[in-house]
Structure formats: structure tokens, C-alpha cells
Amino acid sequence: MELIFFYILAGILVTFSILTVTAPNPIRSAVYLISALLSMAGLFFLLEAEFVGAVQVLVYVGGIMVLFLFVIMLVNVREMETQRRASRHWKTAVVLGVVLSSELIFLVVRGADIFSTEGIGSNLIVEAQTRNTESVGSLLYSTYLLPFEIASILLLVAMVGAVVLTMKEK
């Protein structure tokens, strides 16, 4: 049952990813990417990461991708549609893609053997199954307190930067 779900989601994910990459127009790309991100959230749920799955939907789809769509509307899309897509890289990209994925998958599968024998480092909070959000929260405010604080500086820089860049001259 789980496996069927996985294959359905994986199928959707790969299809929409390829569509995102090949779409001739950024609006379509964005919509395909949104679908891909939603099925990614489904995979997160399947992996019992409920909180991250919810954040994926809220932040990625609801925040980042909406921002993308806004910007696409803001810049002149009509003109972009007529622009040619560089087709000279097509074959290279496909060959590269196939070679790279097979290599990566080979390495990953070989490397992931360790998981079949023993679970290393299964020493941290194992109560994940029951109260995911709560455990994520307490971890975020204990071990990962400093990165959490630092992330706020990062967001501040990004906010200031975006404003400074787009501010029009008075």
C-alpha cells in the first residue's frame, strides 16, 4: 500500500519536474513546480515528517512560489514567451542527465547499504512517531538554538537587501 503511494507520488514528482525544466514559459514552469512541491510534501508525510510537510506546503508553495508568480506577472511575460529557448544544449543536457543520474543512483545505492545492516546513530529522540511537531520544536529551541537565531539575521539581511535593491530613486 505504502509502496503504491510512493510510486504514484514519485511518478507525479518526476513528471512535473521534467515539465518544469522543459516548459517554454516561466508561468507554466512555476505551476508545474508547485505541483511537484505539493507531491514532495506528500512524500514528507509518507516519511513521517508531518511538520516539515506542512511547512513545505505553507512556506514553499504558499510563500516562495507565490512570490515567483508575482514577479513573473511583474516583469514582461508576453515578450518572454516569444523568446527562443536555447535548443543547442538539448542533447548534451539529456545525455548528461542520464549519465549523472545513473552514477548518482549507483553510488547512493552502494552507499546506502549501511542502513540495511544497522541503524547508526539511532541515539536521538525516538519519540518522533507520536508528536512530531512538539519534538521538532523542542529540538529547535535546544540543540539548534543558535542556528535558529542566526537564521533570523539571514532573513533580516535578505529583507533589507530586497528592499534596498528595488527601491526607486526619489
Partner 1 sequence: MIPVTHYLALAAILFVIGTCGVILQRNVLTMFMCIELMLNAVNLTFITFSRFLNQLDGQIFVLFVMTVAAAEAAVGLALIVILSRRADSLDVDQANTMKW
Partner 2 sequence: MNRFVPQMFTEWGTVDLNYSALLPEIILSLTGIMIMLVIPFVPTARHVSLGYPALAGIAVAFLSLVATRATWDQRGEAFFYGMVFQDPFALFLKVLFLFATAALVLIAMNYLDQEDRAQGEFYALLLFATVGMCLMAASADLIMTFLGLEILSISTYVLAGLKERERKSNESAIKYFLLGAFSTAFMLYGIAFVYGATGSTQYLIIAKVIPTSESEPFLLLLALGLMLVGFGFKIALAPFHIWAPDVYEGAPLPVTALLAVGSKAAALVALVRILFQALPALSPEWQVLLWMSAVLTMSIGNIAALTQTNIKRMLAYSSIAHAGYLLLGLTAHNELGTQGILYYLVAYALMTMGAFAVVQIVGGRDEQYIQIEDYRGLGYRHPFLSVTLSVFLISLAGIPATAGFMGKFFLFAAALESELYGLVFLAILASAIGIYYYLKVIVLMYMGDFQEETGTLITIPLSLRIVIAIMVLGTIYLGILPGTLLHLASEAVNF
Residues 15-74 that bind partner 2 (CB under 8 A): none
The CA distance from 27 to 23, in Å, is 9
The CA–CA distances, whole Å, from 150 to 29, 153, 154 equal 32, 5, 6
112 contributes a contact to partner 2 by CB under 8 A: yes
Of 14, 94, 98, 156, the one binding partner 2 by CB under 8 A = 156
- Given partner 2, partner 1, none, residue 66, with its beta carbon under 5 to 8 Å by kind, binds none
Residues near 51 by Cβ (< 8 Å), separated by ≥ 6?
132, 133, 136
* Residues in the chain, total: 170
Smallest gap, in angstroms, from Cβ of residue 21 to partner 2? 14
Residue 124 interacts with partner 2 (CB under 8 A): yes or no = yes
Among 108, 126, 127, 129, binds partner 2 (CB under 8 A): 108
> Taking a C-beta distance cutoff of 8 angstroms, is the pair 135, 128 a contact?
yes
HEC assignment per residue over 37-56:
HHHHHHHHHHCCCHHHHHHH
Answer for which of 121, 126, 127, 129 binds partner 2 (CB under 8 A) is: 121
Please tell me whether residue 75 binds partner 2 under the rule CB under 8 A. no
Nearest distance, CB of residue 143 and partner 1, angstroms: 8
Min dist CB 170 to partner 1, Å, is 16
Q: Is 93 in the site for partner 2 (CB under 8 A)?
A: no
Least Å distance, CB 145 to partner 1, is 11
Q: Which of 83, 12, 3, 66 is nearest to 41 (CA)?
A: 12
